[in-house]
Amino acid sequence: MQFKFTNCDDFLIIKLSGTTSPNERLLSKRSFLPHLQKQHLKVIVDLSELSEHGGAYLMGMLNMIRKEIQILGGEMKLCALSWRLYRYFQENRLLDFFETKRNIEQAKRSFRKEKYEDKS
């Protein structure tokens, strides 16, 4: 699996591509940690270029990212799920666990602004 990290406004966009493998979560954790910092409390994971296979392995990866973001007090949204992946989420009741949007712009608009405003 490949990862591309993009800082866009107040968002960190993580684009996942390729296929997932059984040990992906463990192998990739070091790649993610330097990118997940306090200034990136709004994270969007773009799944538009992800292979159709490996749903269970992907869940481990997404859950690892979600937990790291929650530790920092942030939120994560998923976007651009393929029809097959959306169906997998639906069948396994993961839509209640992960918030999904159709595209990056929709995901950006869905974050609650008041949570991230400076209260000085």
User: pLDDT tens-digit profile of 3-25?
Assistant: 898 988 889 999 988 887 776 66
Task: Please tell me which residue, 37 or 64, carries the higher pLDDT value.
Answer: 64
The answer on pLDDT for 33 being more than 50 is yes
pLDDT for 46 equals 96
CA dist 86 and 93 (Å) reads 10
**CATH classification code of 2-107:** 3.30.750.24
Extended strands (E) in 55-102? 75-79, 100-101
Q: What is the mean pLDDT of the chain?
A: 83
| Confidence label for 115 from pLDDT (cuts 50, 70 and 90) | low
Task: Please tell me which residue, 118 or 26, carries the higher pLDDT value.
Answer: 26
pLDDT for 119 equals 46
The answer on pLDDT for 114 being more than 60 is no
- b/e for 85-102, b at 16 or more Cβ within 10 A? bbebbeeeebeeebebbe
